[in-house]
């Protein structure tokens, strides 16, 4: 949405939005999943620093950086503290600090109370009163909502079944890409402001997370960054095999995980490329571009979220504008000539389906169908909605950058 506003010359409005987010971080330590009190148990995905970067790039007003940097540091601390941060054990017993989605909540979500209770009942779990397994299910459902991908087979132990959701056991490639981006932004902002020690500190954190992404998450077999599944390896400190909920309740202990990759193809697998996990034009970046071509995710309407049709809205056959925009931008900036060409192709497919759907219905939908031009997306807990800020924003920015030549 910020990119669309900037494309429209609405710089002051963009500044107002990031100022609102600064206020939220200063007040709560993070940006809640929605601006309602019952969302104070979980965050939005951490894109605040990149929004500040966009506005700074448009204005070149250094006061924006000095005003927002303290709040960005607060948000970084939120995402890099237990229980969100864990230690992942890699090859050769290497240890990396990585993060996950983890809501501080173990009840049905107030906004989807009936749906969560029904999910627990379908899982055969007691709901009145709930037991520990039911409470964990509710936490994983809320954590899936925190991710933005509510819901997708990314989070399921059984690819077709929401009742097997295990979000808190997943170390997401996209989240750790966003945090790499935040750490690199902090280093760059600090450098611009002349804060040398802070710049060096966060450049090291960015380098460490980049190393984690390319050691643990990257797969040479299919040239993608995959989510990791966390299996218990104990806890740091002297608490032995204490259960996770007890171990992290006071924030003192960090969970340690052995990991294995979720080998599925998801649109989120390319977020680390967008975040700068590898240099522009590098063999790894070029391989990632080709990997999307080979993945089966690309259709006439853009890039689908997954290859599995589960009835969930963040799976096949849905195209979501923010994710397509990220992939397009990543390929344009990092993917060399082949990436530039594919970015332009995906942009035209996406714009074509948005335009055709608008001509047919007069509505700007939040999601679309990858298999047919001009068809809104579906699935999930509610009927497809219109509005819609991120569709408008992605479309305006892409038209400004690439023009529009319908593909139908």
Catalytic machinery residues:
150, 366
Strand order in the sheet with 85-89: 95-99, 85-89, 255-261, 228-235, 170-171
Cα–Cα distances (Å) from 368 to 301, 312, 321, in that order, read: 7, 13, 8
* C-alpha distance from residue 44 to each of 18, 101, 142, 143, 387 (Å): 14, 10, 12, 10, 19
First to last CA, the chain: 26
Tokens of 236: 């740091």
Task: Single out the residue of 77, 128, 73, 135 nearest to residue 104, CA to CA.
Answer: 135
Q: What DSSP designation does 165 have?
A: B
Contacts of 130 (CB under 8 A, 6+ apart): 106, 107, 120, 138
- What kind and span of H or E run contains 245? helix 244-248
8 Å CB contact between 222 and 107: no
**Hey, what are 336's tokens?**
């060399």
Range 290-293, long-range pairs (CB < 8 A, 24+ positions): 290/223, 290/338, 291/222, 291/223, 291/224, 292/327, 292/331, 292/342, 293/342
**DSSP 8-state assignment for residue 46:** S
| Cβ(348)–Cβ(324) below 8 Å | no
163, two tokens: 């009742």
């Amino acid at each position: 949405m910020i990119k669309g506003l900037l494309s429209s010359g609405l710089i002051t409005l963009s500044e107002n939005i990031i100022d609102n987010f600064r206020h939220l971080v200063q007040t709560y330590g993070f940006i809640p999943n929605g601006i309602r009190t019952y969302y104070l148990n979980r965050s939005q995905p951490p894109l605040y620093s990149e929004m500040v970067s966009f506005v700074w790039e448009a204005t070149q007003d250094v006061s924006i950086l000095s005003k927002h940097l303290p709040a960005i540091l607060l948000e970084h601390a939120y995402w890099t503290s237990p229980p969100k941060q864990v230690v992942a054990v890699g090859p050769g017993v290497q240890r990396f600090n990585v993060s996950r989605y983890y809501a501080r909540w173990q009840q049905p979500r107030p906004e989807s109370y009936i749906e969560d209770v029904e999910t627990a009942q379908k899982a055969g779990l007691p709901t009145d009163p709930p037991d520990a397994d039911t409470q964990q299910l509710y936490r994983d459902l809320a954590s899936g909502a925190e991710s933005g991908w509510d819901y997708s087979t990314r989070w399921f132990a059984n690819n077709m079944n929401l009742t097997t959701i295990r979000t808190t056991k997943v170390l997401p490639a996209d989240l750790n890409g966003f945090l790499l981006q935040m750490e690199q932004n902090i280093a760059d902002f600090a450098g611009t402001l002349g804060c040398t020690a802070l710049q060096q500190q966060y450049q090291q954190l960015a380098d460490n997370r980049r190393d984690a992404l390319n050691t643990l998450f990257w797969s040479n077999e299919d040239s993608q960054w995959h989510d990791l599944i966390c299996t218990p390896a104990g806890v740091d400190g002297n608490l032995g095999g204490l259960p996770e909920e007890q171990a992290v309740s006071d924030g003192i202990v960090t969970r340690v995980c052995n990991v294995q990759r979720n080998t599925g193809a998801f649109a989120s697998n390319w977020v680390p490329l967008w975040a700068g996990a590898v240099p522009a034009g590098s063999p790894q970046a070029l391989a990632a571009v080709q990997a999307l071509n080979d993945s089966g995710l690309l259709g006439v309407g853009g890039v689908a979220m997954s290859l599995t049709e589960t009835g969930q809205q963040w799976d096949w056959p849905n195209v979501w504008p923010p994710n397509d925009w990220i992939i397009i931008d990543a390929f344009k900036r990092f993917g060399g000539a082949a990436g530039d060409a594919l970015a332009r192709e995906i942009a035209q497919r996406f714009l074509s389906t948005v335009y055709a759907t608008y001509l047919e219905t007069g509505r700007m939908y939040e999601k679309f169908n990858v298999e047919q031009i001009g068809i809104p997306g579906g699935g999930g807990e509610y009927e497809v909605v219109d509005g819609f800020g991120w569709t408008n924003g992605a479309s305006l920015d892409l038209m400004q950058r690439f023009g529009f030549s319908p593909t139908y």
